[in-house]
Amino acid sequence: MIERLLDIYSEEVPAFLYEIADSPQMQRLKGIGMNCGCEYTAFPLFRGLETYSRFTHSVGVGAIVWNFTRDPKQAIAALLHDVASPAFAHVIDFMKGDYLVQESTEERTAAIIASSAQICEVLGILGLSIGQVADYHLYPVADNDTPRLSADRLEYTMGNILNYKFGTLDDVARYYWNLVVGKNEEGEVELCFADGKIAEEFAFKALECGKVYVCDADRYSMQLLSEIVRSAIHRGNFTENLLYTTENQVIAALTSDTLGKADWERFRRLGAIVKTEDPSGEYPVRKISAKKRYIDPFVEGKGRVTQLSPAFKSAAGEFLAEDFQHGIKGLSGDNL
């Protein structure tokens, strides 16, 4: 189902995007998931999810930006925005203490692009420099500040609306086809909705996705996996460079000794969360903050959904007011 989103995003995708997507650096992303390791646990929320890779997401973002801008440099920057994603993606932000910003995983982008003869050849043919495509934050259709709508935020929201079964393919197509490139309240370029009701519906669906991204199960899984990865690196199972291969390769290295294998099997059994300060049991107690992701779309000529919909303003306010000061720990799905 998720793969069918590309047909919605753009009637045509230019050959140069496919040529870049075919590079080894981009193909690696087929082995990096969008769910940051949560799909390996036993939580019912993440069981049975459709495979959704960083590659699929990246191609989608590139196609969206091409559809709305027809600008090669913006579309390529969008396509390459996750080329430096490590195995388990934002889990590594947790490992590096960057879980509230989640940008540490972008540090290698320019170097990885420069290392690819295939990508550089395409850039040369188009007369583009690495600097023009290594930072998608330069282009507001591709990326902008939360809670505005950008191609990156739009694509993973559409994919997760489908994957978490919050909506149908017809729903996300309806949202997408209502979008235009317009000017927001500050006169800046932004993806905007033409219809307020459709914008409100999308905003609520995006908020449901946002609640998943910061739920106890998600936060705890990412924190625990970050500790497992850090421990394996400290034991010398592998160096941080291995994180820039695929998740299967990292898992093989994680489980190459007895302790790592036990840690991974314990992670795989993780299937429930309890709020507690009691340190006893198989899993540790943790207090874990998180980056809250939500979207407050702009309706062209009218304003943001929080200005137009009291119901959404209230729901978004409740979401933003939630704190994560409570202790949580995991339970094995085997015991449920």
Q: Which two tokens stand for residue 83?
A: 């080329």
Q: 112, exposed or middle or buried, with CB in 10 Å at 0-12, 13-18, 19+?
A: buried
Residues 123 and 239 both lie in one domain: no
Same structural domain for residues 97 and 186?
yes
Looking up residue 7, the CATH number of its domain turns out to be 1.10.3210.10
158 and 279 housed in the same domain: no
Residues 301 and 224 in one domain: no
Residue 130 belongs to domain spanning: 2-215+292-321
Residue 310: the pLDDT is 98
Q: Are residues 303 and 266 located together in one domain of the fold? A: no
Q: Are residues 100 and 137 in the same domain?
A: yes
Examine the pLDDT at 100 and tell me if it is beyond 70: no
**Both tokens of residue 189?**
């370029």
49 and 170 together in one domain: yes
| 208/66 same-domain check | yes
CA quadruple 214, 215, 216, 217: dihedral, nearest 10:
-100
Task: For residue 274, give the H/E element and its range.
Answer: strand 270-275
Note whether 306 and 266 are same-domain residues.
no
Q: What is the mean pLDDT of residues 167-180?
A: 98
Whether residue 121 sits in one domain with residue 252: no
Q: Model's pTM, two decimal places?
A: 0.95
Instruction: Tell me what pLDDT residue 105 has.
Output: 62
Q: Give tens-digit pLDDT for 112-127.
A: 999 999 999 999 999 9
* CB 87, CB 59: distance < 8 Å: no
Phi, psi of 45 (to 5 degrees): -60, -35
Question: Do residues 129 and 252 both lie within one domain?
Answer: no
Residues 252 and 137 in one domain: no
Counting the structural domains of the chain, the total is 2
